[in-house]
Each structure stands twice: as structure tokens, then as C-alpha cells.
Amino acid sequence: ALPITAMLLLAALLRFWGVRWGLPNAQHGYSYHPDEFLTVGAAGMILAGFFPRFYNYPSLYLYLIAGSILFASVYGLAEDTAALYLSARVVAALMGTAAVAAVYWAARKGMGTTAAALIAALILSIAPLHVQHSHFATVDVPSTLFVALTLGFALLVYYRGSWRDYLACGAMAGLAAGTK
């Protein structure tokens, strides 16, 4: 348990360190990432009670960040535009860290050894692109989480073949498709 816990702490550290970079501030009223405006804006429309009519991305992640923005607003954490973006980025960072755990679990099911699973989790925990995208409120990292869970449940279908495994695999595949 200690190695995977250390791996998850490393993954969380890398994903949360610098998560505030490029947030809107007095010098610029927009995020430096071009897609964040789209996802956070669509989530804001959902919170305002409008169907966003935004079809660039599926809606699951938009509803997740709308929930995080609502949570931040209710608890007084959304003082300005930067805080809204930050609450959405926290969701991505948490899901990025969870993706490392999902890769470990899926690799453990597929390879059967803890060493191989730890290597797979280590690779994802320090992968530069995954770490970088975990800093932004975009759909890439959440879809990685659901794809890793889908692969893990697909391996359970292969090895055990129970109905519960089929249902979980289908649900995770649906969540992955609903994210990206």
C-alpha cells in the first residue's frame, strides 16, 4: 500500500502544483488555455438554467464542473472569475490523480503483478502531457480516467465474465464517451 500511496501523492503534487497558472486576473480577463473559456462558459450557462447548445464536447464534464462551480459559490469560494476557473481546474486535477489509481488497478488486473502496475502508475503520474492537461479545465484528463476504468473492467470481463463486470464496463465506456 505504501508504494501506490506515494505514487498518488506524487501525482497529486504534480497536478496541483501550478494549477493557478494563467487564471484570469487584472491584466487579462481570460484563461491562457483556449478551451477553458468554452467549458467553463458552458458550465456557467448550465448553472444559469439554460441548455448551453454547446456541442464541441459531450456534456458530462460540463455538468461536473458546473457542480464544482456551484459548490464553490455556495461555500463562498467563488469570489471572482479566477475562482470559478480554479474550481473547475480542481476537478481536472482530482480526476487526473484518480486516473493514476485507475491505471494501477487496471494494470494489476491485466498484468497480475504489483510491480508492473506500479510501473504503469508511475509512468502516468509523471507523464508530462497528462500532468500539464491536469492543470486545465478541459475534457482530456477526465476521459483518461474513464478509459482506464473501462479497460480495467474489460479485463474483469475477460477473466471473470460476470454480468456485473459487463455492466460496469459498459457504464465506464458510456462515461468515457460522455466526456470526450
The pLDDT tens digits of the residues spanning 4-13 come to: 999 999 999 9
Q: Which residue has the higher pLDDT, 122 or 55?
A: 122
3-state SS, residue 31? coil
**CA dihedral for 158, 160, 163, 165, sign (positive or negative):** negative
pLDDT at 53 over 80: no
Cβ distance 72 to 89 under 8 Å? no
Give me the chain's average pLDDT, please: 92
User: d(Cα 130, Cα 143) in Å, to the nearest integer?
Assistant: 11
pLDDT, average across residues 43-64:
86
Model pTM above 0.85: yes
**What was the pLDDT predicted at 8?**
95
pLDDT-based confidence at residue 1 (cuts at 50, 70, 90)? confident
- Written as one string, the DSSP assignment of 115-155 is HHHHHHHHHHHH-HHHHHHTTSSSSHHHHHHHHHHHHHHHH
- Per-residue model confidence as pLDDT tens digits over 24-49: 887 877 788 888 888 888 898 888 88
**What was the pLDDT predicted at 78?**
78
pLDDT at 116 over 80: yes
Cβ distance 82 to 101 under 8 Å? no
pLDDT at 52 over 80: no
